[in-house]
Each structure stands twice: as C-alpha cells, then as structure tokens.
Amino acid sequence: MLTETARVVALERDSVWVETLRQSSCGGCAARSGCGHGMINSARPGVSQGLIKALLPVDKTLTVSIHDTVQIALPERGFLRAAWMLYAMPLLMTVFAAVLADQLWTPSSLSQAALDLRVTLAAIAGLAAGLLLLRTMSRRMSHDAEFQPRVTGVS
C-alpha cells in the first residue's frame, strides 16, 4: 500500500475529501541550495497538492471530522496498473499505428516523402486513439474500488 498523510476538508456519507500535505526530504539532501524543488518547497511551506476523495472503511470503525489528519492508502497494484496505462498505452498505440502504416503502404509510385507523411499521420492517429482509449478506461476505472484511495487511520 502507498500511504500519504492528509487533512480532511469535507465529509460525505461514505467518503471524505482530503488535502494532501506536502512532505519534502530536502532537509537531508546535499544539493538543497541549488535544487529547484528545494526552492519551491521553501517558498511555499505547507502548501497542499490538491483535493482527493478518499473512501471511508465500510465497517465505520473510524470517526473522522473536518481538519483531522488522516492516513490515506492506495493499493500498489492499482497504482501500477494506472501508471502503466497512462504512460505505455498511448506510446504503444502510436508505435503500433506507425508500424502498421509502414507495412501496409508499400512503396509504389509514391515518393519517400509521401510515404513518410502517411506514416507520420498514422502515428498521430494512433496517439489520438490511445488517448481516447485511455480516457474511456480512466472513466471506467474511476468507479473501481481498486483505484480509490482509502482512509486507513486518524492521527
């Protein structure tokens, strides 16, 4: 499980909206004085990273109030599947479309530039198809409990 500390900002019946707390390891880094991350973190201490909807336990064992600090967790398997889909699917669809176009359009009376243009357009179409497929799958996954963060404890 991947865990993060967060602050509760809103309550719902079976979930809470939390604001993650920025944590930085810049204090122990030797390059902290010349690092962009360190400068950003020092300029905006305590700034949140955004709101996340986290599910409460089904058995109602935790009592959560607004401004409580909670631990939220996301299953590693779901995180890895989502990351793979986000990065690999559009790339694979782009390469697949370009290779398919290159194999289907054999050089006939067309110039090499025209063939390259067709392959380039096919690659762009493959990227667009991969992004649309990713959008469809992400909407479907947004309701899957495997991909939802859960509140695991109150600090």
Mean of pLDDT values over 2-20 = 86
Q: How many CB atoms lie within 10 A of CB 16?
A: 24
Question: Which residues is 74 bridged to in the sheet?
Answer: 2
Under DSSP, the state recorded for 63 is -
The amino acid sitting at 124 is I
Q: Which residue has the higher pLDDT, 131 or 38?
A: 131
**Token pair for residue 117?**
């243009």
The helix/strand/coil state of 1 is: coil
Mean of pLDDT values over 97-121 = 83
**C-alpha dist (Å) from residue 88 to 27, 115, 140:** 34, 26, 18
pLDDT at 148 > cutoff 80: yes
d(C-alpha 43, C-alpha 46), whole Å: 10
> What's the pLDDT score for residue 11?
86
> What's the pLDDT score for residue 44?
46
Q: Which residue has the higher pLDDT, 105 or 4?
A: 4
pTM value is 0.63
> What's the pLDDT score for residue 35?
59
Architecture of domain 2-75+147-154: Beta Barrel (2.40)
Q: Would you kindly state where each structural domain of the chain is located, as residue ranges?
A: 2-75+147-154, 78-141
Give 64-93 pLDDT, tens digit per residue: 888 888 888 888 888 888 888 889 999 999
pLDDT at 135 > cutoff 60: yes
Reduced 3-state DSSP string for 96-129: HHHHHHHHHCCCCCCCHHHHHHHHHHHHHHHHHH
